[in-house]
Amino acid sequence: MSNTKSIFPKNFLWGGSTAANQLEGAYLEDGRGLSVADALPGGKDRFKIVASPDFNFELDESKYVYPNHKGIDHYHRYKEDIALFAKMGFKVYRLSIAWSRIFPNGDETTPNEAGLAFYDNIFDECLKYGIEPVVTISHYEMPLHLAKEYGGWGNRKLVDFYERYAKVVLERYHTKVKYWMTFNEINSALHFPVMSQGLVMKTGAGSKQTIYQGLHHQFLASSKAVKIAHDLNPDLEVGCMIIYATTYAYDSNPINHLKALEYNQAFNFYCADVQAKGEYPHYAKRIWKEENVTLDIHDGDLELLKAYPVDYVGFSYYMSTVVTTDEDVMAKSEGNLLSGVSNPFLEASEWGWQIDPLGLRLALNELYGRYQKPLFIVENGLGAKDVLDENNFVEDDYRIDYLRSHIEAMGEAIGDGVDLMGYTPWGCIDLVSASTGEMSKRYGFIYVDLDDNIEGSGDRYEKKSFNWYKKVIETNGSDL
Ligand code: BGP
C-alpha cells in the first residue's frame, strides 16, 4: 500500500464497464429475441454497411459474421468473469440489461421470466463479492422487432414500450441495484442512428427530423424511468449517459471558436442539457431551424421533462476532437470516430481516436460547472490489438499508460473541485467492439481467447494491467 494520501473520496466507485449485447452471447437462449445489435455485421466496415440505403436489418449469414450472437459467452461464464472482477477489487460493475431478454419483441405485455432470472443471478453473484451493480437500461440493443415494425425511436409508441420495460426491471431489481442509467451514449444518435435508435436510411428514418424526434421520445422515456425509480425508492440514483469528446477550435480565429461552441452545443450538451436540467436549452431552436426539424411535442411533455431530470451525469470519454470552418481541412480529417481534424499535439490509437487526458480534466470541469450534479465516468479506455505471449500473458503497458494518465487527470479535476462519483473503464474484460464488431479491438484487463470470427477457446487470462488496476483500487488511486 502506498502511503500517499489519496485525493479520491473514500467511497469512490472504482470498477469496470460492459454491455449485454457485446459480451453475453446466447442470443436466442431462454426466450431472448433478436436485438438491433444482432443484425450488425462484424468487421471494420460495419458502420458503412449499416449506413447504406439498402440496409434493412435483414440478417445475411452467407455474407457476414454476426459477432454479437456469441459475444464472449458471458451468459454461461458469468461466474468466472465476476470472480475475476472481484479479484481486482471492483467496488461496482457497470453492465446493461438486454431488453430483448426481458421483452423478446419489445411490444409484449408479459416479461420473459427466464430473462429476468438471469439478471437476478448476475446481481446476486456481484453482491456476493460486495460489488454493486450499475445498470444501463438500454445499451445499443433495442429489440429488433421494434426497429423493423415500428421504425425505432422515431415512433412515439416506443416511449410506452420502454416505460413498461423500465418498470419491470426497476421493480424487480431495485433492492439489488441502486445506480441506473437510462440510455447508453444517448447523443450517439446524431452519429449512429441505426445502432442507437433503430433507424434505417431505407425508411427515410435516418433523417435529422427523425433523429431529433427520436431523441425527444428518449428524453420522455428517460424521465418516466426516473419517476418510476424515485417512486419506488427516492434513494435510487438514475443518470443520463452521453459520449463526451472535448472539442477544440482549430486555431485562434474567432470563427473557429464559434464553430467549436456550436459543435459542443449540438453534440456534447444537447441531450444532457435536457436530461440534467429538465428543459430544452436556448440554442435548441437554432439547431432545429438549421436542421429543418419541427418537433412534435405533446401537451405535458415539457412538464414531464422538468419534473424528472436525472440525478447524476454519466459519460464516456475516449478522445478529443478539433473543428474548423475550413471545409478543406475538415475533409482531410483521418479516422477519428466523431470526425474532426487530427490534432498535431496528440497521439492517436490505431483507430485514430486521439488520446487526450488533459481533455478529460477539461471535460470534468466543463460538465460539473454546467450541471452542478455528480459526474460518473462510466467508460474510458484504449482499444488495442493485444498479443498473447507463450505464457498466456499480455504486456499491455500502453493500456496502463493510457489509464494512468486519465486517472491522474481525474485527480486533478477533483482538486479543481469537481464532484466525481466513480470510474468504470470500458470493456474491463475483452468483448466485441461496438463500432467494428471485432474482437481484436480489445480494452480489457482480462484477455479472452477469441478471434474476429468468435472462434477460439474463449479462455480468460489476466493481462499485466489486471494487477496494476487491482493496486490502483486497493490504494484508492494513490499508487498509479
Ligand atoms: C462506446 C460504447 C461501447 C463501446 C465503446 C468502445 O461508444 O458505449 O459500447 O464499445 O464505445 O467502442 P468500440 O467498441 O467501438 O471501440
The 3-class secondary structure across 354-392, one letter per residue, is: ECCHHHHHHHHHHHHHHHCCCEEEEECCCCECCCCCCCC
3-state secondary structure of 431: coil
Ligand 1 pocket test, pick from 184, 194, 317, 435 with the greatest ligand atom count within 8 Å of Cβ, gives 435
Q: Taking a C-beta distance cutoff of 8 angstroms, is the pair 466, 446 a contact?
A: yes
pLDDT at 342: 86
Give me the active site residues, please: 185, 379
> Per the structure block, which three cell numbers stand in for 420?
466525481
Phi, psi of 438 (to 5 degrees): -95, 150
Q: Which residues of the chain have pLDDT under 50?
A: 1-2
- The model carries a pTM of 0.97
Bridge partner residues of 243 (DSSP): 316
- Give the ligand 1 atom nearest the CA of 383: 16
User: Tens of pLDDT along 29-71?
Assistant: 999 999 999 999 999 899 889 888 888 899 999 999 999 999 9
Does ipTM exceed 0.95? yes
Q: Which residue has the cell 494518465?
A: 405
Cα 215 to Cα 317, 428, 450: the distances in Å are 21, 29, 36
Angle 467-470-473 (CA atoms, 0-180°, nearest 5)?
155
Name which residue sits closest to atom 14 of ligand 1, judged by CA.
Answer: 433
pLDDT at 306: 98
3-state secondary structure of 241: strand
Angle between helix 157-173 and 208-232 (nearest 10): 30
Cα 294 to middle of ligand 1, angstroms: 31
**DSSP per-residue letters across 178-234:** -EEESSTTGGGGGT-HHHHH---GGGTTTSHHHHHHHHHHHHHHHHHHHHHHHHH-T
pLDDT at 338: 66
Q: Give CA–CA dist 244/107, Å, rounded.
A: 32
Q: Taking a C-beta distance cutoff of 8 angstroms, is the pair 290, 353 a contact?
A: no
Q: Give CA–CA dist 277/310, Å, rounded.
A: 8
Ligand 1 pocket test, pick from 316, 351, 399 with the greatest ligand atom count within 8 Å of Cβ, gives 316
| Average model confidence (pLDDT) across the chain | 95
User: Tens of pLDDT along 328-364?
Assistant: 887 766 555 666 788 999 999 988 899 999 999 999 9
pLDDT at 241: 98
Phi, psi of 213 (to 5 degrees): -65, -40
Beta 237-243 vs 179-181: how paired, if at all? parallel
